[in-house]
Amino acid sequence: MSRLSPAERALQLTTVCCGLLVAAMLALMLVLAWPLLHSGQLLSLIGGDWQPAAGRYGIAPMLVASLLLAMVAVLLAVPLSLGTAFAAVALAPPLLRSPLMLGVRLMSGIPTVIYGFAAVFALVPLMRQWIGSGSGFTLLTAALVLAVLIAPTMIVFFVGGLRAVPQSYSLAADALGCRPVDKLLYLLLPQAAPAIAAGIVMGLGRALGDTMIGLMLAGNSAIMPESMLSTGRTLTSHIALVIAADFSSMEFKSIFACGIVLYLLTAALVAILRRALPATARP
Amino acid sequence: MTTTMNGKIRTESLSFSYGERLLLEDISVEFADQAITAITGPSGTGKSTLLTVFNRLWEEIGGGPLHGQVLLRLEGRWQDIHAPEMPVSTLRRRVGMVFQTPNPLPMSLAANLAFPLKLAGIDDKEEIAARSREALRRVHLLAEVEDRLVSDARLLSGGQQQRLCLARALMLRPEVLLLDEPTSSLDPKACAGIEELLLELKESCAIVLVSHYQDQISRIADQVYLLGERTLLRQR
Amino acid sequence: MRKALAGLTIAFSSAATLLLFAAVLLFVGVIVFRGWPGLAPGLIFGDTRPLDALLLRRQVFDGLFPAMAGTLALVALTMTLAVPAGLATGIYLAEYARGRGKALLSLLFDILAGLPSIVVGLAGLALTIVLHRLFPGRIGPCLLISALALAFLVLPYLVRSVQLALESVPRTLRLTAPALGADKLTTIRAVLLPACLPEIAGGIILAVGRAIEDTAVIMLTGAVASAGVPRSLLAQYEALPFYIYYISGQYADPEELQRGFAAALLLLAMCVVMLVAAQWLARRGSLRRQP
């Protein structure tokens, strides 16, 4: 490598600093959560319940609510996204395909807080009626909206994978008199498996990382959720809700533990994603 | 290897690899000044790569390592093009290059021609204008484009674009011109125009031309080398 | 059997597509229909005369002006911080970084791109706490900290758009300037960046859209329900998305709720416009790329 000019050094320095900041975030949270981690309470922190008055700062209910909410949202979103991706790639009339994708891209630009706001006034009353008791703010309410929120992300991945077949194969299939649905099922779908897996991982990441939907719709009680119809508080909501506490309290320190858990979960998903799909294949 | 009076480029025991593949092995040749030297050979043997060795452009593409010496006769003295006294930008200003497909920059004709001068630190507007006209005249483009020097260069026809690129290379008055199949993307008429031009231009510089058109080579080349099996064979 | 599978697939695909679009249209429809009546002259400035509000002669208590001013200031400051860093990083990753260094750096930026925004906000809060200990009483959650955290949040969008655009510049164009004696930095400045301008502009607009809508970062780093127009970089501020969140749980009367819906409609419109613009620019860039 030849020597760099001062301007090029500045580019390098900026890049390295930004990169280091990503790692420094984790370090900073570790330092601030240290009093909790240090006292050997790691297990009771991860596995215990949340009783700040009794000095118990476990985040297990939040961890369970987060995972439950994200997984149900992904379960709901996968068929929605897969069906829409099928339509956009092969099954919809050719003239409708590109407007369909435009619609999907527009969906991805709708702010999360807007979904939350609309759902508070449109979906929550319906849920209240349907369940027959309670406020209507449940994990299921949040999961329904979250599914719609993460669908565009997944669709973009799915469509990318389905379209990855070389044009010549596709034309060869057409020349053999293959109907679009047969081409989809026997040519496009089999080779799209890695992209579909990547899309699901990506959707799971977005669902786990989302704050506003859980915060606005899931009810936020810090107890272990019994079912999707009970209220729950996600890790992300927990951070947003405890923030008002005194900076030096143990309660406050526990949110950095939540941050660390979320950071590590995300990093693990990114690692899985990079392994599953080469950089060039990512949309 | 003996050197003749009118040599311009010389290689001594030049070897060059691209990754694992050895493309050129132990080549020692000398190309004449004021002459057209053609390099021909089957595709994939590394003809274009050989050209980029002479202006060190391969360093931007990747490849190497390079062993041996490449020398250029400047002011009557043979100088190593990898010597520290020869910055790569200086080398490339004295050794111009034209590519297979015309590559006008996404700007006006005038800006394309001014670009190399600005790089060389020449900002004087009158000098830029004068040298642009001179370069356009030498490539026989002046009459055609005189009235639209401010329009986008990519609006020209393929043959005009390639002549513009040649003119852009001439702006710096190079002593060597490297041409990588400069007519392969042109129609026969435009191709004949470029060939005529090269015969005129060789009066003022050494031209190294990569081409696989045998008829083109027999029409204009003074020296012909065949590149194959990692080595250069003199044919004519 | 094959035929049944084909039929099932088509039925499933149509149902899924219709369901998804119906759900999104339902949510958007609620915002549009209930927000539309609220788009009245008093929405932004309330009872205050617009000129008085704009010249900061009078505070606006019953309009969206403080929240809009806060969001504008926040996004402007965020992009001022993020664009230079994003450009520099994108250029370095595309043109200079190689091998292991590049792999490690792009892993870090991939992680950053995947991090929940609340975690980025939490890091901003952690920074605030550290600064608070260093300068007691001078620094708390504020506009500057929010902008720093948001800049970090949108950085990967900028880096990726710059890097991808540069890496897809065709080789013929890439070699033109070096063959004329340009050094690397000159080539980047004079040829490569101008050729990538539409894609980079698209990336910047995408990042602006992301910065406008984010709620999680700012609720941890200084956005509050009532602060008036932001007075300084070190002051707390109001912001449109935070206002919408706040109203959803805390509205006192139908009038306030109406204003919440109107604010949601405004934010939605802004984000959709940004997205359409970004798409258009990206498409223009890829069209121009073709020879």
**pLDDT for res C287:** 61
The verdict on residue A73 lying in a domain is yes
The verdict on residue B157 lying in a domain is yes
Contact call for A151 and C260, based on CB within 8 A: no
Token code pair at residue A128: 């209240």
pLDDT, tens digit, 9 for 90 and up, residues C51-77: 888 878 777 777 888 999 999 999 999
Question: CA distances (Å), C160 to each of A197, A202, C110, C156, in order?
Answer: 22, 17, 9, 6
Contact call for B89 and C176, based on CB within 8 A: no
| CATH number of the domain that residue B160 is part of | 3.40.50.300
Identify which of C15, C97, C115 has the shortest CB distance to residue A263.
Answer: C115
* Buried b or exposed e, range B67-103, using 16+ CB within 10 angstroms: ebbbbbbbeeeeeebeeeebebeebbbbbbbbbbbbb
Question: CA distances (Å), B118 to each of A52, A53, B163, C174, C267, in order?
Answer: 70, 73, 20, 18, 47
| CATH number of the domain that residue C138 is part of | 1.10.3720.10
Identify which of C16, C30, C132 has the shortest CB distance to residue A84.
Answer: C16
Contact call for C272 and A15, based on CB within 8 A: no
Identify which of B90, B92, B120 has the shortest CB distance to residue C178.
Answer: B92
Q: Could you report the predicted ipTM of this complex, rounded to two decimals? A: 0.89
Residues of chain C in contact with residue B116, where contact means CB-CB under 8 angstroms, are 180-181
* DSSP labels, C28-45: HHHHHHHHGGG-STHHHH
Q: Residue C13: is its pLDDT beyond 60?
A: yes
Q: Residue C155: is its pLDDT beyond 90?
A: yes
Residue range(s) defining the domain that contains residue B60:
7-234
Identify which of C14, C114, C260 has the shortest CB distance to residue A266.
Answer: C114
Q: Residue C289: is its pLDDT beyond 70?
A: no
Q: What integer is the mean pLDDT of A21-49?
A: 82
User: Does B83 lie at the interface with C, CB-CB under 8 angstroms?
Assistant: no
The verdict on residue C170 lying in a domain is yes
Q: Are B23 and B16 in contact (CB under 8 A)?
A: yes
| CATH number of the domain that residue A258 is part of | 1.10.3720.10
Token code pair at residue A79: 């068929």
- Could you give the number of structural domains in chain C? 1
**pLDDT for res A16:** 95
Identify which of C175, C182, C195 has the shortest CB distance to residue B106.
Answer: C195
The region of weakest confidence among A165-179, B81-95, B116-130, C80-94 is: A165-179
Contact call for C172 and B99, based on CB within 8 A: yes
Q: A: neighbours with 3+ CB pairs under 8 Å?
A: C
CB neighbourhood size of B32 (10 A): 18
Q: What is the DSSP letter of A231?
A: -
Residues of chain C in contact with residue B169, where contact means CB-CB under 8 angstroms, are 179-180
Residues of chain B in contact with residue C175, where contact means CB-CB under 8 angstroms, are 57, 60-61, 99, 103
Quote the minimal CA–CA distance from A55 to chain C in Å.
23
Indicate the pLDDT class of residue A1, thresholds 50, 70 and 90: very low
Identify which of A15, A116, A205 has the shortest CB distance to residue C105.
Answer: A15
- In DSSP terms, A51 is beta-bridged to A56
pLDDT, tens digit, 9 for 90 and up, residues B102-130: 888 888 889 899 998 888 888 888 999 99
Token code pair at residue B100: 């297979």
Residues of chain B in contact with residue C172, where contact means CB-CB under 8 angstroms, are 99, 101, 103
Quote the minimal CA–CA distance from C166 to chain A in Å.
14
Contact call for B99 and C175, based on CB within 8 A: yes
The verdict on residue C23 lying in a domain is no
- Identify the CA nearest to C90 among candidates C76, C105, C100: C105
Element (H, E) at B225: strand B223-228
Q: Residue A40: is its pLDDT beyond 70?
A: no
Max CA pair span of chain B: 52
Mutate to test the interface with B, among C180, C187, C196, C288 (most CBs of B within 10 A): C180
Mutate to test the interface with C, among A3, A25, A62, A67 (most CBs of C within 10 A): A25
Q: Residue C288: is its pLDDT beyond 60?
A: no
SS3 C40: coil
Q: Residue A283: is its pLDDT beyond 60?
A: no
User: Does B90 lie at the interface with C, CB-CB under 8 angstroms?
Assistant: yes
Identify which of C175, C180, C195 has the shortest CB distance to residue B119.
Answer: C180
pLDDT, tens digit, 9 for 90 and up, residues A50-68: 888 777 888 899 999 999 9
Residue range(s) defining the domain that contains residue A79:
60-281
- Could you give the number of structural domains in chain A? 1
- In DSSP terms, B38 is beta-bridged to B209, B224
Residues of chain C in contact with residue A15, where contact means CB-CB under 8 angstroms, are 88-89, 92-93, 97, 105
Contact call for C92 and A15, based on CB within 8 A: yes
Contact call for C126 and A184, based on CB within 8 A: no
- In DSSP terms, A126 is beta-bridged to none
**pLDDT for res C39:** 86
The verdict on residue B2 lying in a domain is no
Q: Residue A32: is its pLDDT beyond 50?
A: yes
Tokens 């200079």 — which residue?
A: C96
- In DSSP terms, B22 is beta-bridged to B17
pLDDT, tens digit, 9 for 90 and up, residues A98-118: 899 999 999 998 999 999 999
- As a whole-number percent, the residues of chain A with pLDDT over 70 amount to 94
The verdict on residue A171 lying in a domain is yes
Mutate to test the interface with A, among C8, C24, C148 (most CBs of A within 10 A): C24
Quote the minimal CA–CA distance from C24 to chain A in Å.
7
Q: Are B109 and B171 in contact (CB under 8 A)?
A: no
- Could you give the number of structural domains in chain B? 1
Residue range(s) defining the domain that contains residue C253:
39-289
Q: What is the mean pLDDT of chain A?
A: 87
**pLDDT for res C281:** 84
Element (H, E) at B78: strand B77-80
**pLDDT for res B3:** 52
Residues of chain C in contact with residue B108, where contact means CB-CB under 8 angstroms, are none
User: Does B57 lie at the interface with C, CB-CB under 8 angstroms?
Assistant: yes
**pLDDT for res A83:** 96
Token code pair at residue B145: 């484009």
- A249 phi and psi angles, rounded to 5 deg: -75, 160
pLDDT, tens digit, 9 for 90 and up, residues C198-214: 889 989 998 999 999 99
Q: Residue C290: is its pLDDT beyond 50?
A: no
Q: What is the mean pLDDT of chain C?
A: 89
Q: Are C9 and A185 in contact (CB under 8 A)?
A: yes
Q: Please tell me which residue, B140 or C240, carries the higher pLDDT value.
A: C240
**pLDDT for res C225:** 84
Quote the minimal CA–CA distance from C42 to chain A in Å.
22
Residues of chain C in contact with residue A208, where contact means CB-CB under 8 angstroms, are 116
The verdict on residue B1 lying in a domain is no
Residues of chain B with pLDDT under 70: 1-5
Token code pair at residue A102: 């435009």
Quote the minimal CA–CA distance from B65 to chain C in Å.
17
Mutate to test the interface with A, among C1, C5, C25, C27 (most CBs of A within 10 A): C27
Residues of chain A in contact with residue C236, where contact means CB-CB under 8 angstroms, are none
Tokens 């930095």 — which residue?
A: C185
Token code pair at residue B42: 């089957």
Indicate the pLDDT class of residue C50, thresholds 50, 70 and 90: confident
